[in-house]
Structure 1
Amino acid sequence: MASSGPRSQRADWQRNHERLLAAARPLVARDGAQVSLEQVAREAGVGSATLHRHFPSRRALLDEVFREAVEHLRRRGDELVDGDPGAGLLTWLEELTVAAVETRGLTASLEADADGGPSSAADCHGVVREATVHLMDRALAAGAVRPGTSPDDLLALVTAISLANEGNPAAARRLLRLACDGVRP
């Protein structure tokens, strides 16, 4: 006989939460901030009421998907510091570009919807900038980047490429590689 106590309720709640996030990630990548909450619930195999118990608003769902993406980027930045400085920076810029392409509209939506509290988009910018500065400093010291190139130059480049290639990570990667050829000494 299965237990229906608090432990099984928490496990069931966690399972549903993970299913909702797993369903939301590709839908957000495809549809951006306008993702259909009903479709997320359908893809997760739960009802709309369950979705709303976990995420009382679209903002709450998008915020958690965004936080996961930012945490992944933070970990990748930390991992890339230990390798070849030039390759690490290029890998970082490619992964950052693809992440931006796959979360199109999400940053702007979260910034526009901020209610005076800390913005997930602002947190993301801080994480991304810190990792870019660190990787860029290493690449400059190793002579892998043209002197005078700044982290803000590279972030502007990533932003422009990702906006111009929404929904097309392969094209974004190709354009980034072309642009990075001009950044190398």
Structure 2
Amino acid sequence: MRTVYEFSVKDRKGKDVALKEYSDEVLLIVNTATKCGFTPQYEELEKLYEKYHSQGFEILDFPCNQFGSQAPGTDESIHSFCKLTYGTEFPRFKKVKVNGPDADALFKFLKEEKGFAGWDESHPIYPILDKMLSEADPNYKDSPDIKWNFTKFLTNKRGQVVARFEPTEPIANIAAKIEELL
């Protein structure tokens, strides 16, 4: 069975990082953006990180500019924004593409393992996202592609992808799943 530990990524300074460095940890791998309606989720992610990090939990943050150019700027300016605005301490990596032929290999794998999980239809932004994405592609829900920033993939300590959470998923649900894995 394939795992995330087979992949290497680039940190925000361009250095190769083998994900096997995170073996035996529960990982939450997230594509993010600094100018998105979901950007305040950085605050909730940092709270998860602070609560569970000492128990073997890590968040891996991958800025992505594919959705409405909502992650402008350099990797360093994005990092500075997140640290200054939200006090984030979890690792941030180079900006990546998560969809299309140039998608990062890690994100291609993550999508193969867990396709689109569906929206939390009670979320206030759901009608807007669904309408916008349906107009662009009436069958968008059938594709495993990432639909928006702040999509989260959770791995167990063996590096297997066990869950995918769309950006509308309540953080409490994600925390409950993390607790099951720790």
- Higher alpha-carbon Rg: 1
TM-score (norm 1): 0.23
Write 1 or 2 for the structure with the bigger share of strand. 2
Structure 2 length-normalised TM: 0.24
Higher relative contact order (CA 8 A, sep 6+): 2
